[in-house]
Structure 1
Amino acid sequence: MLVAFSVSPLGGESDSVAEAVAEAVRVVRESGLPNETTAMFTTIEGEWDEVMAVVKRATEVLQARAPRVSLVLKADIRPGHTGQLTAKVERIEQHLANG
């Protein structure tokens, strides 16, 4: 499964959330699961329980820093398929290259 999520602290003294979000991304990267971070989301690939455990830990990191946390999550649940973090993009690129 692929899970794209965005977690952000709410409330507090700063308009910038980059430092706090970096701590959540660190949790994802240390998980060892395939992942990618873009400007709006971090996407993780793995089995349901392992992916959701990482999302939970990343959220908890922010809960320790902020009085309130926002979590947005989107999942592509497709049993039996792996490597989709890159394969989905490759299929799009192939279509674009073919005109």
Structure 2
Amino acid sequence: MGTGEPSVAEYIAECVRVLEKSGLKFKMHGYGTNLEGPWSQVMQAIHDCHSAVHAKGAPRIATDIRIGTRVDREIEPGTGNEGKVKRVEEILAKSQSA
């Protein structure tokens, strides 16, 4: 972001407000945000975040996006990342109890 400020937390908070209104499942972490949902809604949410952050005064924004899609099985929208984390936790629990 071309803000000239050492912290972009205020801008990230603005984007979180947008995501909360979107109704999509998301999880913010130290180096980004996981966002889950239908393709068009995810893209609209990213667009809306950019618009909101520009409106807050940021003249430039760069967003890196990694997109994963799946067609080999049905996954309930909003549960993809949760399921991945749960599977790893189950593996760790088995190795700790053995």
Q: TM-score under structure 2 normalisation? A: 0.82
Question: Of 56, 70, 77, which residue of structure 2 is paired with 1:78?
Answer: 70
The 8 Å contact of residues 35 and 85 in structure 1, kept in 2 or not, is answered as no
Residues 53-81 of structure 1: CA distance to partner in whole angstroms, max 9, x if unpaired?
10111112122221111101111112431
Aligned to 2:31: 40
Larger RCO (CA under 8 A, 6+ residues apart): 1
The equivalent position to 1:98 in structure 2, one of 53, 75, 94, is 94
**4+ aligned runs moved over 3 Å, structure 1:** none
Extract unaligned runs of 5+ from structure 1.
Answer: 1-8
Structure 2, unmatched stretches of 5+, are: none
CA shift for structure 1 position 17: 0.6
Hey, what's the Cα distance between the residues in 2 that align with 1:62 and 1:20?
Answer: 6
Query: 1:4 maps to what in 2?
Result: none
Give the superposed CA RMSD.
1.3
State the identity %. 32
Q: Which has the higher strand share?
A: 1
